[in-house]
Amino acid sequence: MRLRAMLAALVLAGGGVLLLLPAPERAEALNCTGAADHSTLGDATSPDLALPQLEVAKAIVGVAKGMAVTKRGTVIALQVARQESTLDAAAVAGRATGAFQQIAPGPAGAYAGYDRRNTSMAAKGFFTVLLARVPGYDSDPRSNADIGQVVQASGAGADKYAPWQSLAEALADVLYDGTAKMTCQTGASGPLAVSANGVDVELPPSAGIAGMIKAPTAEAARVLAAALSWLGTPYAWGGGTAAGPSRGIRDGGVADAHGDFAKVGFDCSGLVLHAYAQVGVSLPRTSRAQYADGGAIVPWAGALPGDLLFYGSVVHHVALFLGVVNGVPYMVEAPQSGDVVKVSQVRTGGDFRPEAVRPIPGGGPDRHA
């Protein structure tokens, strides 16, 4: 289903809250801004969410209400999930998996027997442990962060959960009891303002080249704007989700030597996955899988802005084709450990694959050949 409405409606009926949002498999990106009582929050805690994050929050709240967990318990869960995974159901760091980064089997086997990437099942596991370890949580004098730490037993400690309480409360005001409203509209993806006007994308100064990219479709333009909005973000092996940059993971080699596991950023496929998620297109996590299952394969000579470019006879790198500027083909990429998201000339030598993958079909003349 394709939904072009700029605003998502909030419907209150019988005490319930229903956010009418675009279908997640193919929808415009949504930045959701919450309640007036929380409007003074800073950028770090304001409820400014991409669609995949909001879907995770909705699933957590739905399970809480089904298990008769109070609003406070729901807030605790939301702030824990925001810290642990940035509300990313697919997050994996070693054996820790899902929105709550659960490691099976967990306390009394609470995290075993289900796919921890399923937010509803993971939330049920979280609330099961909450009810077992802190049965009087609703009136417990300890802070939300301290109670969250009792459930998670995180090595990072309770202090990591505390900054997300205001965000979690704003979400619960909307999703749990409907005491506040939330508006959702299309918006920018990253910290840089990158203009996408129809099919035109203006290159930001940090691109290192001046000009306008003419994308084949408005969707492809928004994909490119999303990727360009993260220029200068550190490369982090294993980093990047639909919601944005995330902490890298260990690889036992080059990435570890550069400290990627301690950085928040993108690797090559994480950047591509994130950019396409902003128009509701879900891509696989790795470059190899993006090549195999990312869309139609076209010859390099027919590549269009927004197409995916690959390197390696066994694929090891992916980049987003930007198009041709002043006769030179460019791409935006997260190149390698020690580097940052940047605009580069397309490297057509070496192990470059002379083809491209097109996740969004159709649109416009061949602007490359």
pTM of the entire predicted model: 0.57
Q: What is the DSSP letter of 173?
A: H
Give the model confidence (pLDDT) of 204-259 as tens digits.
999 999 999 999 999 999 999 999 999 999 999 999 988 888 889 999 999 999 99
- Better pLDDT: 219 or 8: 219
Flag whether pLDDT at 181 surpasses 90.
no
Task: Report the range of poorest mean pLDDT among 70-74, 245-249, 266-270, 303-307.
Answer: 245-249
| Residue 297, burial from CB neighbour count under 10 angstroms (0-12, 13-18, 19+) | middle
DSSP for 234-254 reads BB-TT--BTTB-EE----SSH
Provide the 3-class DSSP secondary structure of residue 266.
strand
Residues 113-122 have a mean pLDDT of: 95
**pLDDT classification of 17: cutoffs 50, 70, 90:** very low
The answer on pLDDT for 7 being more than 70 is no
Computed over every residue of the chain, the mean pLDDT equals 84
Pick 239 or 180 by higher pLDDT. 239
The catalytic site residues sit at 268, 317, 333
Residue 32: the pLDDT is: 53
Task: State what percent of residues in the chain have pLDDT above 70.
Answer: 82
State how beta strands 342-345 and 328-333 pair: antiparallel
User: So what's the pLDDT on residue 91?
Assistant: 85
- Mean pLDDT for 335-341 is 94
The reported pLDDT for the residue numbered 183 is 60
Write down the pLDDT at residue 49. Answer: 64
Which tokens belong to 348? Answer: 């057509």
Mean pLDDT of all residues in 298-323: 97
pLDDT of 41 > 70? The answer is: no
* Alpha-carbon distances of 275 from 22, 83, 141, 225, 229, rounded to whole Å: 17, 22, 42, 8, 10
What pLDDT was estimated at residue 51?
Answer: 64
pLDDT-derived band at 72 (thresholds 50, 70, 90) equals: very high
pLDDT beyond 90 at 1: no
- pLDDT reported for residue 44: 34
CB 310 within 8 A of CB 291: yes
Helix, strand, coil percentages for the chain (3-state, nearest 5): 35, 20, 45
- What angle do the packed helices 51-66 and 71-85 form, to 10 degrees? 140
pLDDT at 90: 83
